[in-house]
Amino acid sequence: MIKMSIIYHSETGNTKRMAELIKEGALQAGGVEVHLMPVETLDRQTLEESRVILFGSPTYYGTMSWQMKRCMDTLPVKVEGKLGAPFASAAWPGGGGYELAEMALIQGMLIRGMLVYSGGVVTGRPPTHFGAVSHRAPAGFDADRCRKLGMNLARKGKELFGQQQNVRTPGERS
Ligand SMILES: Cc1cc2nc3c(=O)[nH]c(=O)nc-3n(C[C@H](O)[C@H](O)[C@H](O)COP(=O)(O)O)c2cc1C
């Protein structure tokens, strides 16, 4: 059993709902313990033990929210070598900037040495491109995309780390 943490910022519940759906998809894949973590209450020990960490943000002015940026800038654990993916909600699909929010999250993950994965368009439908995106509260296709992202990350996490249990990544603070 590997651990997965889903960190998110949400003021009006849309991104939180995405996180819940991602958890649902991951649990469907099986073999993962999933922790939902609002940016306000990060659990350092669980993050250290998580092999997979997703980051979700509402889109604010075409990028991640400042609350999520602060979270990424001040993350209390080293995440080098962990698997990650972004997700983002927005009010305006096709121009509101949720892919840009995702790309900003991906920048943060890469710079911290994470392995970024979404499953893209090669793991079946619905495609996950950069991660999961949703127009306001996820429903229909947007909800399916969240579940699919969770499933993809759980599967890839087990493939990469399944034999290693929940030991810390080398170099992590104890
Ligand atoms: C300060 C602020 C800036 C926003 N900027 C954008 C934006 O650039 N593009 C967009 O599509 N939606 C924008 N929105 C809408 C939110 O991204 C959208 O409502 C989102 O689903 C809220 O997520 P939450 O319910 O998890 O808080 C903005 C909202 C706020 C409060």
What's the token pair of residue 152?
């993809």
Q: Cα torsion for 128, 129, 133, 134, to the nearest 10°?
A: -70
Instruction: Please indicate, yes or no, if residue 169 is contained in any of the structural domains.
Output: no
Residue 96 within any structural domain of the chain: yes
Q: 167: burial class by Cβ within 10 Å (0-12, 13-18, 19+)?
A: exposed
- Ligand 1 atom closest to the Cα of residue 8 is 26
pLDDT tens readout for residues 77-135: 999 999 999 999 999 988 999 999 999 999 999 999 999 999 999 999 999 999 999 99
Residue 168 lies in a domain: no
* Rounded alpha-carbon distances, angstroms, from residue 133 to 31, 122, 141, 157: 25, 17, 10, 21
The reply to whether ligand 1 has any atom less than 6 angstroms from the CB of 90 is yes
pLDDT at 174 over 50: no
- Is 15 close to ligand 1, i.e. is its CB under 6 Å away? yes
Q: Is residue 166 part of a domain?
A: no
CA angle 155, 4, 40 (to 5 degrees): 150
Domain of residue 82, CATH code: 3.40.50.360
| Per-position DSSP letters for the chain, written without gaps between them | -EEEEEEE--SSSHHHHHHHHHHHHHHHH-SEEEEEEEGGG--HHHHHHEEEEEEEEEEETTEE-HHHHHHHHT-SS--TT-EEEEEEEESSTTTS-HHHHHHHHHHHHHHTTPEE---TTSSSSSP-TTSEEEESS--HHHHHHHHHHHHHHHHHHHHHHTTTTTPPPTT---
Q: What is the pTM of this model?
A: 0.94
Q: What is the pLDDT of residues 62-73, one digit of tens each?
A: 999 999 999 999
CA distance 143 to 21: 7
**How many folded domains does the chain comprise?**
1
Evaluate whether residue 101 is within a structural domain. yes
Domain-embedded: residue 173: no
Domain assignment of residue 88, given as a range: 2-161
Q: Is 63 in the pocket of ligand 1 (CB under 6 A)?
A: no
**Mean pLDDT rounded to a whole number for the chain:** 94
Residue of the CA atom closest to atom 4 of ligand 1 = 60
Residue 171 located in a structural domain: no
97 lines ligand 1 (CB under 6 A): yes
- Give the whole-number percent of the chain exceeding pLDDT 90: 92
**Residue 73 within a domain:** yes
